[in-house]
Amino acid sequence: MSDGLSSEMRRGLVTVAVLAACRTPQYGYSLKQKLDESRIEVNEGTLYPLMRRLEAQGLLTSEWQIHDGERPRRYYTLAPLGRELLPQLREAWQAIARALETLLEE
């Protein structure tokens, strides 16, 4: 498969996955672990800029927290706009998957 096409597909998938994972508060490393556990591998050089971009777009919010004397961590959570958009993105992905499955079965 062309690296460009694969990259485009992954970019959309990772965006939806990050939004879905951030239904509960996540800091960068916890989010990466959650994605890895779901077999969605993304490197930090992609993940952190994506999180900041989604925050700039109003889809995520963030706040610094300190737990049990650990170093401060920036936790990201879905913003109201993200909560509104996520079900629409889910429906769109499901429609794409159904359409592809139909085409692949022909």
Q: Structural domain boundaries of the chain?
A: 3-105
- CB-based contacts of 38: which residues, under 8 Å, 6+ apart? 17
Which residue positions in the chain have pLDDT lower than 70? 1-7
Which helix (DSSP H) or strand (DSSP E) does residue 74 occupy? strand 73-78
Q: The whole model's pTM is what?
A: 0.84
19 with 86: CB under 8 angstroms? yes
Distance CA 1, CA 5 (A): 7
pLDDT value for 1:
46
Class of domain 3-105: mainly alpha
